[in-house]
Chain A
Amino acid sequence: MNDSSVPQTTGFDRRTLLRAGGVTLLGGAVLSACAADFGGDTAPGRVGLADEGAALPDGVVDDVVLMRTMQSLEHTAVAGLTAMVDAGMYSSAQLSYIERFIADHVAASEALGEIIEAGGGEQYACPNEWVMSRYVEPILAAVEGTDDQLRDVRAISHGLETMLAHSYQHVVGLLDGPAHRRAAMIQGAAASRRSATLAAQSTGALHGYLGPDLADSPEKTADGFPISYAVPSTFGRVDQIELVVGAVDDEGSRFSTLLQTPAENTFVYAYQSC
């Protein structure tokens, strides 16, 4: 029905408005595409006047960097074990081998240092900052107020030694020089022995030597703690190591972390020094 009392718009209804707007946008897009390059900075805009951060040098990963990284991990183990020794957390029986482990790590660092210098690099006889801040320091903090100190230091020690063993094996696949691979696995074999010794001594009688992949052995205790095995698998491993320590928190869980082999964020590049 047509109500003649309603004023009629002539040629500018809603549809016409939408059509005109679309034509305008399309025209603008065509003009923009055809326009000349006006130049100017194409970087995202900045707010404020703060200095731009200095860019890190390019990190080249070569054999020297990998050896420096392993040297830093040896010192990371020294730092972790020494912290627990200094805090009086080990039993006297545990101390009888932990002190030997620390001495072995220092000797390993010296051996690696000679290789690094022979390769034209600078030694890095310091703990790995990334591993210390992400793993070791949080782990040690979690042990404060624990319900079983000996259990925790045993697990931490095993975790550190196993991380080293896995790391040496891992870097063999990254190293280019056969002589460097050989040198890495001399230390890797020693780390595997320390890891296996801790496993055999701490859980061997209760759970045996052979891991779940090889025998009818449990993966964790009834309380949820990973069980270490002297021979956890047929081949040497490079996977991450689960570590659970500390007291149960308000949410009913304990601190846990996954120790890992070195990667780009862990490498000690040539431009780093300590």
Chain B
Amino acid sequence: MSATPTLDDQRKDLPVNDAPGGTEHIDESAPRPDSSGRRALLTAGLSGAVLALASAGRANAAENEFTGAELDILRFAQQLEMSARDLYDAAIAAGATGAVWEAMSEQHEAYAQSIAGLTGMSADSRNDEVYDALAPAFGSSAAAEAAYDLESAAAATHIEVLGLLSHRPAAELIASIISAESRHCVVLADLTGRSTDLTALLVNNAQPILPA
């Protein structure tokens, strides 16, 4: 990726692990690449199998004991993370290169494993609906755009998950995943040429993925 000026004139030369694109000034009104098709795909792939997370019931057990509803919610979150790992691996298999892709695959697996460590539920399965809905996009030249949408949806999902957990350690873990995935969004916005699009960089407009 070529070196380009940054928002604050800081860019200098080639990166050691994937470079962001950049321009001199932010254009808040700059149009984003069309992601409506991919977003629709994500939605369509999940439609018919969606119930609100809230219907799982508000957990109200002691904060260090899991309720059955909480375990269901965390299983869903864990499988979402495994889907993300597999999608990044699919993108790598399809030719995506760079340390960012490998790092994100590993990080999503780490999130799933951390939920396993907390709950005792093995990270051994993914959410096939999410995977199947996004695998074509991750295997295409638009993989980075698909990854941006996935990270945005994952962060939005975990925020909703957080609102359903009384279990304090689980809440702390989910919060740390939200922080990390929000940062992923910025990297992917940058990689997809939206480094001056403040909406893409700063705002999460994605809808949460909801469990069946």
Q: Which residues of A contact B (CB under 8 A)?
A: 91-94, 96-97, 100, 104, 150, 154, 165, 168-169, 172-173, 178-179, 181-182, 184-186, 188-190, 192-197, 200-210, 214-217, 230-231, 233-238
On whether the beta carbons of B171 and A172 are closer than 8 Å, the reply is yes
On whether the beta carbons of B175 and A181 are closer than 8 Å, the reply is yes
A172-B171, A197-B201 given; A206·B13 CB < 8 A: yes
Bound CA–CA A94/B7 (angstroms): 6
Partner of B182, one of A100, A150, A193, A235: A193
A192-B183, A203-B10 given; A197·B171 CB < 8 A: no
Partner of A201, one of B8, B106, B175: B8
Partner of A178, one of B166, B179, B180: B166
Bound CA–CA A237/B177 (angstroms): 10
B146 CB contacts on chain A under 8 angstroms: none
Q: Which of B114, B162, B203 gathers the greatest number of chain A CB atoms within 10 Å? A: B162
B177 CB contacts on chain A under 8 angstroms: 235-236
Bound CA–CA A207/B14 (angstroms): 8
Bound CA–CA A53/B153 (angstroms): 54
Question: Does B42 count as interface, using CB distance less than 8 angstroms?
Answer: no
Q: How close is A239's CB to chain B, nearest CB, in angstroms?
A: 12
On whether the beta carbons of A206 and B12 are closer than 8 Å, the reply is yes
On whether the beta carbons of A205 and B22 are closer than 8 Å, the reply is yes
On whether the beta carbons of B172 and A172 are closer than 8 Å, the reply is yes
Q: How close is A89's CB to chain B, nearest CB, in angstroms?
A: 12
On whether the beta carbons of A193 and B178 are closer than 8 Å, the reply is no
Q: Which of B3, B163, B184 gathers the greatest number of chain A CB atoms within 10 Å? A: B163
Bound CA–CA A232/B168 (angstroms): 24
Q: How close is B8's CB to chain A, nearest CB, in angstroms?
A: 5
Question: Does B50 count as interface, using CB distance less than 8 angstroms?
Answer: no
Give the residue name and chain of the A residue nearest to B14 (CB): A205
Q: How close is A73's CB to chain B, nearest CB, in angstroms?
A: 16
On whether the beta carbons of A204 and B20 are closer than 8 Å, the reply is yes
Partner of A150, one of B8, B13, B16, B59: B8
